[in-house]
C-alpha cells in the first residue's frame, strides 16, 4: 500500500488538478503521452475488462458448467457493464454510491470470511514457508508482484475523482484541496493496509489447507468452501462482484473525467463514459488469461515511469520548477522501461539486432536480476539533469 499512498500524496503536494496537470511539470508532450497511456492501461484496455473477468472467473464459474463459460461470460459482462455505466453517468454521486453502499457491502462480506479464519484457524502462520523469489528476495519479489495490482497507477488515476469530489463541497483553494487530498489518501491507504493484512491471513490459511494456489481468487474459493460449504460460493461471488464493480465504476469515471480535461474540445463526459464502457465490455469477452498476457508489457513499461514521476513530485520543493531535472530523469526512465519491457524472452516479436544489443548492455547493470535495473538509469538521468541545470545557470 506504500506506492498508492505516495501517488495520492504526490498529486496533493503538487497542488495539481490531477495527473494531466501534474505531469506538465515535466513537459507538455509528456503530460499528453503519460496521461493517455496510463489511463488507457488502467482503464478500458486492461484494468476495467479485468474487473469483469476476475469477478466472473472466481465468483460465477463455480455455478456453471465448462461448456457454458463463454456464453455465461457474455451475459455476465453485459449486466456488469450496464451497472457500471448506470453509476458512471452520475459522477457527482459516485462517492456516496461507492463509499457508503457498494464498498460497505464488500467489506461486510469479506469480514464474514476473515472472522472465520481468525476464530477457527486451520493452523499457525509458522507452518507457512515462503516459496520462489520470496525465499531469497522477498521485498523485491513482493514489489514486482505488486505491479499486477495496478494500485500505484490507480492512485494517480483516481486522484481526479477525489479532487472533483472535494470541489463538490465548494472548496476551491488549491492548498486546502491538497491538504484534504493528502488526509483522505492516508485514511484510504490505512484501510487498504487493514484489508490487505486480512487477505494475507486468508492466503496463509489457504496454503495450510490445500497448498499454494494459482492465484488469490482460487485461495479465497478454497477458504469460502471450507468455512461455509455451498454457501461459501455465494459469499465469494458477492465479495468478488462488489469489489470489482466499485473499482470499475471508479475507473470509468476517472478515465472519462480525465479525457474531458485533456481533450476539452472533443466529446462530452457522457460519450467518453459510454465509449470506455463499451470497449471494456468487448475486451472482457476475450477472457482473463489473454488480458493478463497483454497487460504485462504495459505494466513493465509504466511502473518505473510512474514511480520516478511520483518521487519527483514528492521532492518538488527540492527540484523546484526546474524542467531540465524532471525531463532528464523521466527520459532516462522511459528508455530504461522500454528496454526492460522488450528484454523479456516472451516478447521476441520486439527483438532485432539493435534491440538485442541494448538488452545485452542493460542486462549487465546492477539489480537487473531482481527487475530493478531501471533505477540505475533513472539515477544517471537525475544526475545529468542537476549538472545540466547548473551549467545552464552559469
Q: Is residue 313 part of a domain?
A: no
Instruction: Tell me whether residue 209 is in a domain.
Output: yes
Per-residue model confidence (pLDDT) at position 131: 66
pLDDT at 346 over 60: no
Q: Count of domains in the chain?
A: 2
* pLDDT of 140: 67
As a whole number, mean pLDDT of residues 163-185 equals 78
Confidence of residue 353 (pLDDT cuts 50, 70, 90): confident
Question: Residue 380: what pLDDT?
Answer: 95
Q: Distance between CA atoms of 334 and 33, rounded to whole angstroms? A: 11
Q: 128-159 pLDDT, tens per residue?
A: 666 666 667 776 677 666 666 667 787 787 77
Dist CA 303 CA 320 (whole Å):
24
CA distance 288 to 52: 9
CATH number at residue 174: 1.10.4160.10
Report d(CA 298, CA 283) in Å as an integer: 16
Phi and psi dihedrals of 352, rounded to 5? -155, 175
Q: How confident is the model at residue 61 (pLDDT cuts 50, 70, 90)?
A: confident
Summarize pLDDT for 115-131 with one digit per residue, the tens: 888 888 877 766 666 66
Secondary structure letter of residue 178 according to DSSP:
H
Residues 72 and 151 grouped into a single domain: yes
Domain-embedded: residue 74: yes
Q: Cα–Cα distance between 239 and 244 in angstroms, integer?
A: 9
Q: Is residue 21 part of a domain?
A: yes
C-alpha to C-alpha distance for 210 and 141, rounded to whole angstroms = 23
Query: Is 311 domain-assigned?
Result: no
Max mean pLDDT range (11-20, 56-65, 146-155, 183-192)? 56-65
Cell of residue 334, nine digits: 522511459
**Single residue among 242, 268, 300 that ends a domain in this structure:** 300
| Residue, of 232 and 92, whose pLDDT is higher | 232
The reported pLDDT for the residue numbered 79 is: 97
> Radius of gyration (Cα) for the chain, nearest Å?
22
Clarify whether residues 140 and 8 are in a common domain. yes
Looking at the fold, whether 39 and 124 belong to one and the same domain comes out as: yes
What is the predicted pLDDT for the residue at 204? 78
* CB distance 72 to 61 below 8 Å: yes
20 occurs within a structural domain: yes
Report the distance separating Cα 201 and Cα 40, nearest Å.
Answer: 33
Highest mean pLDDT among 13-27, 141-155, 198-212: 13-27
Could you tell me which residue, 280 or 186, shows the higher pLDDT? 280
Residue that is written with C-alpha cell 490507480 in the block: 154
Question: Are 162 and 268 within one domain?
Answer: yes
Lowest mean pLDDT among 74-83, 96-105, 320-329, 359-368: 96-105
Asked, for residue 307, whether it belongs to a domain, the answer is: no
Shared domain check, 198 and 139: yes
Return the minimum-mean-pLDDT range out of 244-253, 294-303, 329-338, 361-370. 294-303
Percent of the chain with pLDDT over 90: 24
The answer for residues whose C-beta is within 8 angstroms of residue 44's C-beta and 6 or more apart is: 255, 275, 276, 277, 279, 280, 283
The model's confidence at residue 97, banded by pLDDT at 50, 70 and 90, is low
pTM, two decimal places: 0.81
By the 10 Å C-beta count (0-12 exposed, 13-18 middle, 19+ buried), 317 is classed as exposed
**Which residues span the domain enclosing 327?**
322-394
**Same domain assignment for residues 286 and 150:** yes
Query: Is there a single domain that holds both residue 294 and residue 354?
Result: no
Q: Which of 245, 267, 300 is the last residue of a domain?
A: 300
pLDDT given for residue 33 in this prediction: 93
d(CA 199, CA 118): 12
Residue of 192, 109, 103 lying closest to 155 (CA atoms): 192
Q: Give the pLDDT mean for 82-102.
A: 78
Evaluate whether residue 293 is within a structural domain.
yes
pLDDT value at residue 283: 92
pLDDT higher than threshold 70 for residue 223: yes
Q: Which of 300, 333, 361 is the last residue of a domain?
A: 300
Give backbone dihedrals phi and psi of 224, rounded to 5 degrees, phi first: -60, -40
Residues 81 and 177 reside in one and the same domain: yes
Closest by alpha carbon to 352, among 342, 362, 341? 342
Whether residues 186 and 329 share a domain: the answer is no
pLDDT of residue 206: 75
Maximum C-alpha span of the chain: 74
Kindly indicate the confidence band of residue 6, based on its pLDDT and cuts at 50, 70 and 90: confident
Mean pLDDT of all residues in 382-392: 90
Q: Does residue 294 share a domain with residue 333?
A: no
Answer yes or no: is pLDDT of 63 > 90.
no
User: For 253, phi and psi rounded to 5 degrees?
Assistant: -60, -50
Cα(100)–Cα(263) distance, rounded to whole angstroms?
Answer: 32
* Rounded distance between C-alpha atoms, residue 153 and residue 348, angstroms: 26
C-alpha torsion 24→30→31→34, nearest 10: -140
pLDDT of residue 335: 93
Range with lowest mean pLDDT among 176-190, 210-224, 364-378: 210-224
Looking at the structure, do residues 173 and 96 belong to the same domain, yes or no? yes
pLDDT above 80 (res 280): yes
Q: Residue 351: is its pLDDT beyond 70?
A: no
Residue 247: pLDDT over 60: yes
Amino acid at each position: 500500500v506504500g506506492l498508492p499512498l505516495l501517488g495520492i500524496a504526490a498529486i496533493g503536494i503538487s497542488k495539481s488538478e490531477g495527473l494531466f496537470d501534474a505531469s506538465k511539470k515535466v513537459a507538455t508532450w509528456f503530460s499528453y503521452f503519460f496521461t493517455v497511456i496510463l489511463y488507457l492501461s488502467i482503464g478500458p484496455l486492461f484494468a476495467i475488462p479485468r474487473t469483469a473477468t476476475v469477478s466472473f472467473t472466481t465468483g460465477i464459474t463455480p455455478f456453471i458448467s465448462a461448456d457454458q463459460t463463454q456464453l455465461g461470460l457474455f451475459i455476465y459482462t453485459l449486466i456488469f457493464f450496464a451497472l457500471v455505466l448506470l453509476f458512471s453517468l452520475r459522477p457527482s454521486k459516485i462517492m456516496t454510491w461507492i463509499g457508503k453502499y457498494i464498498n460497505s457491502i464488500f467489506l461486510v462480506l469479506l469480514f464474514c470470511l476473515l472472522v472465520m479464519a481468525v476464530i477457527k484457524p486451520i493452523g499457525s502462520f509458522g507452518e507457512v514457508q515462503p516459496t520462489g523469489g520470496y525465499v531469497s528476495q522477498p521485498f523485491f519479489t513482493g514489489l514486482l508482484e505488486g505491479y499486477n495490482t495496478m494500485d500505484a497507477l490507480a492512485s494517480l488515476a483516481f486522484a481526479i475523482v477525489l479532487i472533483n469530489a472535494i470541489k463538490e463541497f465548494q472548496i476551491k483553494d488549491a492548498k486546502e484541496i491538497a491538504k484534504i487530498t493528502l488526509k483522505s489518501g492516508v485514511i484510504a491507504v490505512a484501510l487498504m493496509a487493514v484489508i490487505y493484512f486480512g487477505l494475507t491471513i486468508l492466503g496463509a490459511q489457504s496454503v495450510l489447507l490445500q497448498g499454494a494456489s494459482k492465484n488469490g481468487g482460487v485461495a479465497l474459493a478454497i477458504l469460502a468452501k471450507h468455512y461455509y460449504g455451498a454457501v461459501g460460493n455465494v459469499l465469494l461471488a458477492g465479495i468478488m462482484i462488489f469489489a470489482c464493480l466499485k473499482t470499475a465504476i471508479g475507473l470509468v469515471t476517472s478515465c472519462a473525467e480525465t479525457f474531458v480535461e485533456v481533450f476539452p474540445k472533443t466529446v462530452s463526459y457522457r460519450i467518453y463514459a459510454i465509449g470506455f464502457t463499451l470497449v471494456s465490455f468487448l475486451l472482457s469477452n476475450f477472457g482473463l488469461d489473454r488480458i493478463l498476457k497483454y497487460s504485462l508489457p504495459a505494466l513493465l513499461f509504466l511502473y518505473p515511469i510512474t514511480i520516478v514521476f511520483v518521487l519527483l513530485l514528492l521532492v518538488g520543493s527540492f527540484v523546484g520548477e526546474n524542467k531540465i531535472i524532471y525531463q532528464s530523469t523521466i527520459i532516462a526512465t522511459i528508455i530504461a522501461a522500454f528496454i526492460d519491457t522488450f528484454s523479456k524472452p516472451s516478447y521476441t516479436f520486439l527483438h532485432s539486432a539493435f534491440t538485442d544489443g541494448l538488452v545485452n548492455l542493460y542486462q549487465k547493470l546492477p539489480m537487473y536480476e531482481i527487475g530493478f535495473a531501471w533505477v540505475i538509469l533513472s539515477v544517471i538521468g537525475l544526475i545529468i539533469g542537476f549538472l545540466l541545470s547548473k551549467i545552464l545557470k552559469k
